[in-house]
Amino acid sequence: MVNNPDILEKEPISLFELSEELNKAKKRDGELSFRGQKVEEYLQQVMILKPKQAKELSKELNELDLARLKPEVVKKLIDILPVNEEEVKNVLSGADVTMTSADVKKIADIMEKYKSEK
């Protein structure tokens, strides 16, 4: 008999949040499963920012208080870390979000700062 777990909630997470969850599982279980190890290897290759930087960036983006900048878009911006207005527009268009040029510039300026810190 196969278990069919109920989905209690759906919430997108960023790569750094996934990394934190894997670390919790590793501490709890002693080691990761095969699939968990593969995910951890992938994260080590693709994560651009350190978790502390990602949290700070998330806070800064949320402080912009832009109505169309939803949490899932913030997480995608952190994962991809676009550094200019054109790249920010590409990420936003992939999420079906439109913003004024001034708002896109604000986002790009913040992202640029974190790209140079990494």
Please answer whether residues 46 and 18 qualify as being in contact, where contact means their C-beta atoms are separated by less than 8 angstroms: no
pLDDT tier for residue 74 given thresholds of 50, 70 and 90:
very high
Alpha helices in 9-81 (DSSP H): 15-29, 34-46, 51-63, 71-80
Please answer whether residues 74 and 58 qualify as being in contact, where contact means their C-beta atoms are separated by less than 8 angstroms: yes
pTM: 0.80
pLDDT digits (tens, 9 = 90+) for 10-60: 888 889 899 999 999 999 999 999 999 999 999 999 988 888 899 999 999
Q: Which two tokens stand for residue 104?
A: 């896109």
Separation CA 13–CA 7 (nearest Å): 15
pLDDT at 34: 94
Separation CA 105–CA 89 (nearest Å): 10
pLDDT tier for residue 118 given thresholds of 50, 70 and 90:
low
Nearest in space to 65 (alpha carbons), one of 94, 106, 101: 106
Q: Which two tokens stand for residue 52?
A: 């502390």
Spatial CB neighbours of 75, under 8 Å, sequence gap ≥ 6: 12, 13, 14, 17, 58
On the question of pLDDT at 100 being above 90, the answer is: yes
